[in-house]
Amino acid sequence: MAAIFTTSPKELDLLAASRGVKEALLQLSRDKQWVNEKHLELCRVPSPTFQEQRRAEWMLAAFKSLGCEARIDQAGNVIAFLDGNAHAPLVAFTAHLDTVLAPRNSDEIRTEPDGTFTGPGVSDNGAGLAGLLALVRALKSAPPLEGLTASPVFIANVGEEGDGNLCGMRYLCTDSPLASKIRAFVVLDGPAVEHVTCEALACRRYEVIITGAGGHSWIDYGVANPVHAMARMITIFAENLPQTTPDKKLSFNFGLIEGGVSVNAIPTSARTRLDLRSVDEAVLERMSIILEAALTRACEWENEKATARVAGKIRETGSRPGGKLASDSPLLANIRKIDAYLGIRSVNDCGSTDANIPLSCGIPAISIGAGGAGGGAHTPAEWYKPEGRDTGLKRLLLLLALSLTE
């Protein structure tokens, strides 16, 4: 694959001073208030995973109002080109539409007296989506970039969070008509510019269900209890995990546990959903085997003296593949040069993002923040501060310009 991101600091000075890039950079500085307003407006459109259609339609209208050629694809992703003259190869700038939590009403997305945005999704991924719109508006207001060897495509994609299982990005990299045309992905996820996610953290998600006869807590005492078996399974699993090391780091999380209907009734079922992660896919496979063994042992233990038995089953609900951008990748080298040019201190990072899919397919990809500061992601107390957003957006614009002209 041809190197598409190679430049020197001197060339960055020349690039930033070129007419199209210079005007676009100035427009980003002028548009601070406009970007803030669009950021809040889009976050007020609920977009939980699998229910992104309203926000997709909002983004479609926003892209079209900026003069883009835009459409919604078969997966529900919003695809936008600056004009109708886009040609392959393409460089994709993407941001996911969906949120873990959604505002119940527009008042939950608000601006605090100090200028902080608060509410579900304002950081993850309101920041990324607003970044896409800011880039498009800046490019549309400036003279066309010269010497293009590729075209940009801007994508607001579905299915990044939770059970979405990266479905929007999977479609883009496999079944979409664009799949063979995109030569690199830059994923905008959240605000932070301090991390460049260039390694994909492998992840597997499971649902475990244990069922039994149930009964009265006193009269039927002795009947095997699904909740008791589930608790034992979790303990056995946690006690038998391999030791974590820097090169074989792992994590697990039982994020949801359900079972029973009353304090004085033996449950007929218990259910848990869990998330397993590791930088090493072999470790992840071992964790999955340990989970199966823990379920078998927990049910046997609960059934040993029971008058009615429990049974368990495991179902995989999601899988995110691992992958890594080559250390000598031109894409990685150039984000480093741009960061040095702008005075941004960033480090390489490993994470689970939309970039997992292209990286697993051998397509250059990174996931970076769109600027500003945020926190409390995936909680009702999520917040975002727009101060410093312009630095993140200028970084994105320079990276986009390099990718299109080299």
In this predicted model, what pLDDT tens digit does every residue of 339-351 receive, in sequence order?
Answer: 999 999 999 999 9
| Structure confidence at residue 189 as a pLDDT band (50, 70, 90) | very high
CATH topology of domain 202-320: Alpha-Beta Plaits (3.30.70)
Instruction: Compute the distance between CA of residue 259 and CA of residue 376 in angstroms, rounded to an integer.
Output: 28
Map out the domains of the chain as residue ranges.
9-200+322-405, 202-320
Task: Note the pLDDT of residue 248.
Answer: 77
pLDDT at 71 over 80: yes
Task: Note the pLDDT of residue 394.
Answer: 97
Residue 292, C-beta contacts closer than 8 angstroms, at least 6 positions apart = 314
Task: Note the pLDDT of residue 2.
Answer: 41
Q: Which CATH architecture is the domain 9-200+322-405 placed in?
A: 3-Layer(aba) Sandwich (3.40)
Instruction: Compute the distance between CA of residue 366 and CA of residue 189 in angstroms, rounded to an integer.
Output: 10
Residue 159, C-beta contacts closer than 8 angstroms, at least 6 positions apart = 49, 50, 52, 75, 76, 96, 98, 165, 166, 167, 168, 169, 170
Q: Quick check: helix, strand or coil at residue 384?
A: strand
Task: Note the pLDDT of residue 256.
Answer: 95
**Chain mean pLDDT for the chain:** 95
Give the closest residue to 198 by CA, choosing from 93, 94, 321, 332.
Answer: 332
Query: What is the mean predicted confidence (pLDDT) over 75-83?
Result: 97
pLDDT at 6 over 70: no
Task: Note the pLDDT of residue 7.
Answer: 57
Classify residue 64 by its DSSP letter.
H
pLDDT at 3 over 50: no
- Contact (Cβ atoms closer than 8 angstroms) between residue 155 and residue 171: no
pLDDT single digits (tens) 374-404: 999 999 999 999 999 999 999 999 999 998 8
Query: What is the mean predicted confidence (pLDDT) over 258-282?
Result: 96
Q: Select the more confidently predicted residue: 148 or 338.
A: 338
Task: Note the pLDDT of residue 246.
Answer: 75
Query: What is the mean predicted confidence (pLDDT) over 13-39?
Result: 96
pLDDT single digits (tens) 198-244: 999 999 999 999 999 999 999 999 999 999 999 999 999 999 998 87
| Structure confidence at residue 8 as a pLDDT band (50, 70, 90) | low
pLDDT at 135 over 90: yes
DSSP codes joined into one string, 224-274: --HHHHHHHHHHHHHHTPPPP-GGG-EEEEEEEEEE-S-TTEE-SEEEEEE
pLDDT at 5 over 60: no
Task: Note the pLDDT of residue 69.
Answer: 97
Q: Select the more confidently predicted residue: 1 or 294.
A: 294
pLDDT single digits (tens) 275-307: 999 988 899 999 999 999 999 999 999 999 899
> Where would I find the beta strands (DSSP E) of 78-118?
78-81, 90-96, 110-111, 117-118
Task: Note the pLDDT of residue 87.
Answer: 87
| Structure confidence at residue 367 as a pLDDT band (50, 70, 90) | very high
Query: What is the mean predicted confidence (pLDDT) over 42-71?
Result: 98
